[in-house]
Amino acid sequence: MNPTELSTEPASFPDIAASFMLDGPAGKLETISEVAEPACARRGVAVVCHPNPAQGGTMHNKVVTMVERALRESGLDTVRFNFRGTGASAGVHDNGAGEGDDLAAVVAWVRRTRPDDALWLAGFSFGSYVTIHRAARLHASALISIAPPAGRWSFESVTPPGCPWLVVMGEEDEVVEPQAVYDWIDSLAAPPELIRMPETGHFFHRRLMDLRGAVKHAVRDWLPPPRPS
């Protein structure tokens, strides 16, 4: 389904798939929201963040859209957006700090429009770096990190998110060294649940449906209550 294009920032969470511009700290942020099927809808919204725009990452990345689909099929409404300087989003790439502020602006809109919903954060690669660093500050109810770039970006000052946390890592990742991720996880006082996916690399080529299934299976016990009809 193609999202309906809205001309202004929605005052309420759209009840159909929609694309719109949100106010961000460096200008407008290109955003897409989608909704779960009513029969399985839960009282939660997942914000999904994309990989490094300096390497071509956008909210339309296949891993991002597959994670979004997995969470929506699990009953969560979802939001994707382009970080500053990506797609139609204003601003300039800021190596993570400004992108964290972009995420905070999107989360603020979600909380204004869905104040009683659980907030989940998910990210792929650079997107997982941003969400991991902001999860505790944004009081996330759950965190999903796909191929977090430990060893390429600094994770030394991360505050534990204080919520259920899933990491999925391809065992043949050619961008992020898998052992660096495993070593980082082993160093944490409260490590996440780790899924090591064999025979696949950073972009999960030929394993995207397996990624979808792994995420849906892992998070099913974390899901918020059903959304009232």
pLDDT at 1: 64
Contact, 77 vs 223, CB < 8 A? Answer: no
Contact, 201 vs 170, CB < 8 A? Answer: yes
pLDDT at 45: 98
pLDDT at 18: 97
Residue 155 lies in a domain: yes
* Angle between helical axes of 62-73 and 208-219 (0-180°, round to 10): 40
**Strand order in 118-124's β-sheet?**
4-5, 18-24, 27-34, 77-81, 44-49, 118-124, 142-146, 165-170, 193-197
Q: Tell me, what CATH number does 50's domain have?
A: 3.40.50.1820
Number of domains in the chain: 1
What does the pLDDT look like over 122-159, one tens digit per residue? 999 999 999 999 999 999 999 999 999 998 888 888 88
pLDDT at 52: 95
Residue 24 lies in a domain: yes
Residue 4 lies in a domain: no
Residue 169 lies in a domain: yes
pLDDT above 70 coverage of the chain, percent: 100
Residue 153 lies in a domain: yes
Residue 226 lies in a domain: no
Mean pLDDT of all residues in the chain?
A: 96
Torsion sign, CA atoms 87, 92, 96, 97: negative
pLDDT at 7: 76
In order along its 229 residues, the chain shows pLDDT tens digits of: 689 898 789 999 999 999 999 999 999 999 999 999 999 999 999 999 999 999 999 999 999 999 999 999 999 999 999 999 999 999 999 998 999 999 999 999 999 999 999 999 999 999 999 999 999 999 999 999 999 999 888 888 888 899 999 999 999 999 999 999 999 999 999 999 999 999 999 999 999 999 999 999 999 999 999 998 7
pLDDT at 164: 98
Residue 208 lies in a domain: yes
Residue 2 lies in a domain: no
Which residues span the domain enclosing 57?
A: 11-221
